[in-house]
Structure 1
Amino acid sequence: MTADATTDIREAALAALRQLVGREDARFHDGQYEAIEALVAGRRRALVVQRTGWGKSAVYFVATRLLRDGGAGPTVLVSPLIALMRDQIAAAGRAGVRAVAINSTNAHEWTEVLARLDADEVDVLLVSPERLNNPSFRDERLPALVRRVGMLVVDEAHCISDWGHDFRPDYRRLRDLIAQMPPSVPVLATTATANSRVVADVVDQLGAEGVTTIRGPLARSSLRLGVLRLPDATARLAWLLSHLDELPGSGIVYTLTVSAAVDTARLLREQGHEVRAYTGQSDADEREESEGMLKRNEVKALVATSALGMGFDKPDLGFVLHLGAPSSPVAYYQQVGRAGRATESADVLLLPGPEDRDIWHYFATASMPDEERAERVLSALGASDRPLSTAALEAVVDIRRTPLELLLKVLDVDGAVRREKGGWIATGEPWTYDAERYGRIAAERRAEQDHMLEYETTTACRMEFLQRRLDDDTAVPCGRCDNCAGPWISAEVGQRVSESAASALDRVGVPVEARRQWPSGLDRLGVPLKGRIPAEEQASEGRALARLTDLGWGGPLRELFAAGAPDQAVPRRLLDACVRVLADWGWQERPVAVVSLPSRTRPQLVASLANGIASIGRLPYIGELAGEPGAPAGRPSGNSAFRVAELHDRFSVAGLDVPAGPVLLVDDLADSRWTLTVAARDLRRAGAASVLPFVLALRG
């Protein structure tokens, strides 16, 4: 390429950058133009690893503008989160780039989007990795799009790698997509969170010789990092109630679980703080509204799970606080990188909890495929003469919906199954469980968890620690964190606030929603139940003392139900709390008797709980439902149809004097609620006017 041509590209790129950022004095950061030049002039494949706020999106939007001006086709941008897509579309518009998305929230716009794409009126198409395997998109749209694509961009590219901190099976499918691209089509992968192992793996996934890798220092001079170790959840919440308003600007309070986010937000609001909860279970419109409120500083904070993560763009975010630690320094760096992108200073504070390890273990094991389950799925699909929907397959293989969907994605990426319009089919390709690979991933995750614990206790510079965990050789002490400059936060909490926090966490009672519909597929399992459960056979809404994941009573309940914990009589403290739940229930008619469910693992706990409630409430305890010897207990790992099939006709009311009034049905733990549903049906059919389920703990 001639010097004049190079100059022309640089001038055009600089003009596009200035339009994007809205400043005539804007200049490229180190590495930005080099990446653009590699894509536009060299038509190469590139990996950009730069800290959050460096301007990775400027690289692909400016490159898109130049490529489109040169006659290239549209850019396909694979983006992992809907919140991120919204910000990317807004940023593209500032650069004069026409960007549109196809995702689960805008199905009503797909026809228009596809028509614009066909008319070449789209510069950037944003899709999720999951969308690439949607049968109609994959088979009808993707081949034509691949033929005319001008550039492929993979955002948050660490997800491609086994070593990335997110386990997104659909991201692994991108290697096959990249392989379909003509060598002349540039491919860009970007991330802010990649150590050397992830970098090497992503370069390999890009599948070409001479990948241009641009990696900059990851230090964030605006961030002031600190760790505050407090004894328990009450102390952490009391600190937050006392000091939230002292944190600069508006920000994010991260929690590890949905229930913790919802409960913390509720407690903060009750104390007069303007906050909102943000989780993956929040309504899509509500999430979008919450994002806007935070960006406009209309709330002090969003109390969020990791659903508010990659790519959320609020340059002046003043703080990020964690109630509980993420499972790795890499994940932590990614989340705290939301703060201080366009401010001189932002506060980052970690309040770790003793329960963090248990939560890490749960999520780590939940995302890993299981060999025995995989074989069940392949066997069921192989025996079927037609595609099976996920719901139909669930009724055959006894795997719950969420882990089944994840397992199908893994098998799909591995080529063993394929998603068709009518459901899933087995491809017939040989498949072997890669135990060595999953063992390596599990070992690395355990090592990352240990590194996170080291971060919490290190006396060295915290920013330097994070940089070195990401293999950043430029790491030096930051001079700002609590270890470099001394603690900048007070652990003091007033007595009144401590009492308020303790009172809030001492709150008891969680509704246990009643099942109204039998699961599909019971006929295939020989159970003559289907459709809506007759009103005269339904349970009423029940109550639990608390969820296992709750901030307050979740702690003692987790100890009671921990693996290996002995069966014991219900502790008096828990029994007294249960009585408070019953007193506040507000039922239409007080129960006239107590009955309990048989328990294989905790018979003493259930019997003592039922007898204790009956004694304090001066109600007759009429005994426990009889169960056939060896009756299944409703395995937590099973899906709905199989659990109902196991429980159907297993209980007996023989020998029980079931009254005609309301009956309180007592058990220790509710998970799927099918055990309570089936037992309530038996009691209603035996004459009980209503059945009020009560359990110590609700899972999740």
Structure 2
Amino acid sequence: MAIPERAAPTAGTDPGLKDQAIELLRALTGRDDAVFHPGQFEAIEALVAQGRRALVVQRTGWGKSAVYFIASLLLRARGRGPTLIVSPLLALMRDQVAAAARAGVRAASISSANATEWGEILERLDHDDVDVLLISPERLNNARFREERLPQLVERMGLLVIDEAHCISDWGHDFRPDYRRIRDLIGRLPQSVPVLATTATANQRVVHDVEEQLGVGLASDGREPVLTLRGPLARDSLRLGVLRLPSNTVRLAWLLEHLNDFQGSGIIYALTISAAEDTAHALSEAGYTVEAYTGRTDPADRERLELELKENRVKALVATSALGMGFDKPDLGFVVHLGAPSSPVAYYQQVGRAGRATERADVLLLPGTEDREIWEYFATASMPTEAKATAVLGELGASERPLSVGALEARVDIKRSPLNMLLRVLAVDGAVEQVQGGWQSTGRPWSYDAERYARIHQARIVEQNAMLDYENKSTCRMEMLVEQLDDPQAAPCGRCDNCAGAWYATQISREASDSATTALKRVGVEIDPRAQWPVGMQRLGVPLKGNIPPEERASAGRAVARLTDLGWGNRLREVFHTDAQGLPMDQEVDKGLGRACVEVLAQWSHDGWGGTGRPEGIISMPSVARPRLVRSLAAGLASAGHLPYLGELGLAPDHPGGGGGNGAYQLAAVWEKFVVTPQLREAMEDLAGAPVLLIDDLVDSRWSLTVAARELRLAGLGPVLPFVLASRG
């Protein structure tokens, strides 16, 4: 579609522009004495009067949103179309829509959270009743949006804004492949449309990368290069500190005793969902008004929790990075980290939530011994490999119709989350596209950019080492942070613990220590049963589809704990440790772990065994890696519960074995693997229809337990209740 050119803003200055901008600023802030921070009006002038492309790198709280809201209104007053803001998170969109309304800006957002409102919003756009439209970068990957709505927006757009623009860059801390589509969007814009990118977390490498993305087409058109406005990133209100404590128990004890030392309400960040939930539970039991906020939190609950924190109705939210960019509470009093993020850039981003409109806010890091292990897991989980990309392209290229993600799982051995990420990367590269019914190949040539991914991996290692330097060195902590962002004005802050001494308490009372120990000794995690077979199992030679019949399902089970738990997680990771050759360590269950198992069973019994009735026997899984561990666990529980140990399932002879990445391949790897041996069948004769415990060491996908339970149900047993030492979930 041909896009008509519009008159570009007149280059140079507009005599009345600053007065108009000041008036809008005061409406936005509600203050008659409000004036611009250094750089704010310069950015507005560049966009409105000069039609420039600009990158603004300024600390959190500086007022980047004021720049694009005021520029939007000024452009609208000059007859320009609506502003399109690409914004990364729902929380940020909600805050921005609310802030826009205060300034008299008619704003709307299109996201997964308000799908029922899309029709009304699109109708408002058609009637020119929207000044600002916010979308996520993933919306640019939606084929219908790109083909039906985006061309109209491009034709009418008055300003394009890319918020949290560090996500454009490979060097940015958040791997969002759909941000890379923005370069294509910029390339489609008429020359007259100004572009603004904003971020508070960009070092010089990221700045260069974003400038390159923003600058597409400028040189060939003879236009001025990207204008970068960069201010000092140090935050005068933040008082930083690091307190190294020897264990998770001691860290939790410190928090139990000293959370009220922090003024106001704040955020406690944890690296994993389990750690966030465990910490929130322990603090709640100690009388604190706290709640967990993680990737497992329902979207409606997230909005409620954000509001409770903003209104100071909770002391803290214990959160993963799910509560990050975009959450805006100007008077947030503190940020505590239980475990360090993997880079100073990510850390600066999170601590920047605090002290935006207060004279002082406290920021304390409590590093964990497991931090490096967690960093490595998340770093490798998001990076596509050449073999997996080639496999996906091969299957899509060979298919005569689009394939859903579920159908692809039966064809390529990749788990759901990495598969979705890989498809988005390939879509951004133009190799695949999402259409009605799923994904299909575009047929365009594609090659794996090994150099690029090696560069990203190496950058992450450098960032991890810099984070360790932040924890361990004795120089000013704020200076170290902003130096990582290449701030030329980095200088000692005079407030952090390295500059002025420890400002936080270090003692821990016996009572707090005992409370933490009790909290982390808590055992028992429910294992939800599988209720449905994966899509497309016939392609893998497994004749299953649809729902698992209730009479063939496992019942809800129990694990002692998750491997990621703050308490028993450490002990269980030792149990499942491998030796120097990568081979599993196999040993009998020790007394301490045995007591924990008995405690879980006692609680399970108290809860009524989920309505199945008390188990009347115990059967174990045939473990290849840890047979001593599983058999000793089964025998020990049989003795403690005065139950007969019936023996273990057998392994089918000549079964090919093998592992699997996603659910379909994991199921295929264990299908027909387990058999009810004659000896076990004989031992089960008196238990027809009775419930039994099925014992294993570790549960991940749950397909081994699902298949084994099905064999036992088909052999005449009643409910099969899985019990394992550890869950990976």
Residues 26, 32 of structure 2: 8 Å contact kept = yes
Distance of 1:289 and 1:269 partners within structure 2: 18
| Residue number among 391, 408, 427 corresponding to 1:393 in the alignment | 408
| Residue number among 669, 690, 701 corresponding to 1:646 in the alignment | 669
| Residue number among 152, 157, 174 corresponding to 1:149 in the alignment | 157
Q: 2:659 matched to 1:624?
A: no
Question: In the alignment, what sits opposite 1:688?
Answer: 717
Q: CA deviation at 1:427?
A: 1.0
| Residue number among 555, 560, 568 corresponding to 1:540 in the alignment | 555
Distance of 1:370 and 1:598 partners within structure 2: 33
Map 1:551-700 to 2 at 5 A.
551-563=566-578, 564=582, 565-586=584-605, 587=609, 588-629=612-653, 631=655, 635=659, 638-655=661-678, 656=680, 657-658=683-684, 659-660=687-688, 661-700=690-729
Residues 56, 198 of structure 2: 8 Å contact kept = yes
1:511 maps to a residue whose letter is: E
Question: In the alignment, what sits opposite 1:158?
Answer: 166
Task: Describe the superposition over 1:120-154 as per-residue Cα deviations: whole angstroms up to 9, x where unpaired.
Answer: 10011000000111121111101111111111100
Distance of 1:385 and 1:3 partners within structure 2: 53
Distance of 2:10 and 2:525 partners within structure 1: 71
Distance of 1:633 and 1:149 partners within structure 2: 57
Map 1:188-207 to 2 at 5 A.
188-206=196-214, 207=216
Question: In the alignment, what sits opposite 1:421?
Answer: 436
Gap change, CA 1:430 and 1:4, over 3 Å in 2: closer
| Residue number among 317, 326, 334 corresponding to 2:349 in the alignment | 334
| Residue number among 459, 468, 480 corresponding to 2:483 in the alignment | 468
Residues 50, 215 of structure 1: 8 Å contact kept = yes
Question: In the alignment, what sits opposite 1:116?
Answer: 124
Distance of 1:75 and 1:3 partners within structure 2: 20
1:96 maps to a residue whose letter is: G
Map 1:282-361 to 2 at 5 A.
282-361=297-376
Task: Describe the superposition over 1:161-198 as per-residue Cα deviations: whole angstroms up to 9, x where unpaired.
Answer: 00000000111111111111112110100000000000
Bigger mean CA deviation after superposition, 607-616 or 55-64: 607-616
Distance of 1:610 and 1:110 partners within structure 2: 55
Bigger mean CA deviation after superposition, 284-293 or 522-531: 522-531
Task: Describe the SS at the equivalent of 1:669.
Answer: strand
Bigger mean CA deviation after superposition, 654-663 or 293-302: 654-663
2:575 maps to a residue whose letter is: L
Task: Describe the SS at the equivalent of 2:113.
Answer: coil
1:378 maps to a residue whose letter is: L
Distance of 1:336 and 1:230 partners within structure 2: 20
Q: CA deviation at 1:631?
A: 4.0
What TM-score do the two structures reach when normalised by structure 2?
0.94
Distance of 1:692 and 1:155 partners within structure 2: 49
Task: Describe the superposition over 1:249-307 as per-residue Cα deviations: whole angstroms up to 9, x where unpaired.
Answer: 00000011111111211111111101111112111110000111111111111111111
1:490 maps to a residue whose letter is: A
Distance of 1:627 and 1:144 partners within structure 2: 62
Gap change, CA 1:223 and 1:330, over 3 Å in 2: same
Q: CA deviation at 1:610?
A: 1.8
CA RMSD of aligned residues (A): 1.5
1:556 maps to a residue whose letter is: R
Q: CA deviation at 1:633?
A: 5.9
Residues 630, 697 of structure 2: 8 Å contact kept = yes
Residues 374, 407 of structure 1: 8 Å contact kept = yes
Distance of 2:115 and 2:376 partners within structure 1: 36
Distance of 1:574 and 1:508 partners within structure 2: 10
Residues 586, 628 of structure 2: 8 Å contact kept = yes
What TM-score do the two structures reach when normalised by structure 1?
0.98
Task: Describe the SS at the equivalent of 2:279.
Answer: helix
Distance of 1:511 and 1:7 partners within structure 2: 68
Q: How many equivalent pairs are there?
A: 699
Residues 386, 425 of structure 1: 8 Å contact kept = yes
Task: Describe the SS at the equivalent of 1:7.
Answer: coil
Q: CA deviation at 1:632?
A: 6.0
Task: Describe the SS at the equivalent of 2:125.
Answer: helix
Gap change, CA 1:114 and 1:543, over 3 Å in 2: same
Distance of 2:506 and 2:106 partners within structure 1: 49
Residues 156, 190 of structure 1: 8 Å contact kept = yes
Task: Describe the SS at the equivalent of 1:51.
Answer: coil
| Residue number among 91, 101, 119 corresponding to 2:109 in the alignment | 101
Task: Describe the SS at the equivalent of 1:692.
Answer: strand
Residues 12, 49 of structure 2: 8 Å contact kept = no
Question: In the alignment, what sits opposite 2:274?
Answer: 259
Bigger mean CA deviation after superposition, 689-698 or 639-648: 639-648
Q: 2:570 matched to 1:524?
A: no
Gap change, CA 1:533 and 1:490, over 3 Å in 2: same
Distance of 1:237 and 1:629 partners within structure 2: 49
Distance of 1:349 and 1:107 partners within structure 2: 39
2:407 maps to a residue whose letter is: A
Residues 80, 128 of structure 1: 8 Å contact kept = yes
Q: 2:31 matched to 1:23?
A: yes
Q: 2:73 matched to 1:54?
A: no
2:442 maps to a residue whose letter is: T
Task: Describe the superposition over 1:412-464 as per-residue Cα deviations: whole angstroms up to 9, x where unpaired.
Answer: 11111111122111111111111111111111101111111111111111000
2:256 maps to a residue whose letter is: L
Distance of 1:146 and 1:631 partners within structure 2: 58
Q: Percent identity?
A: 66
1:342 maps to a residue whose letter is: A
Q: CA deviation at 1:589?
A: 2.5
Task: Describe the superposition over 1:507-530 as per-residue Cα deviations: whole angstroms up to 9, x where unpaired.
Answer: 011001111222221233332222
Residues 255, 261 of structure 1: 8 Å contact kept = yes
Residues 161, 197 of structure 2: 8 Å contact kept = yes
Task: Describe the SS at the equivalent of 1:487.
Answer: coil
Bigger mean CA deviation after superposition, 623-632 or 470-479: 623-632
Bigger mean CA deviation after superposition, 274-283 or 499-508: 274-283
1:617 maps to a residue whose letter is: G
Residues 11, 49 of structure 2: 8 Å contact kept = no
Question: In the alignment, what sits opposite 2:181?
Answer: 173
| Residue segments in structure 2 that go unaligned for 5+ positions in a row | 1-8, 220-224
Q: CA deviation at 1:73?
A: 0.7
Distance of 1:596 and 1:444 partners within structure 2: 46
Residues 12, 50 of structure 2: 8 Å contact kept = no
Distance of 1:3 and 1:326 partners within structure 2: 44
Gap change, CA 1:615 and 1:284, over 3 Å in 2: same
Gap change, CA 1:84 and 1:429, over 3 Å in 2: same
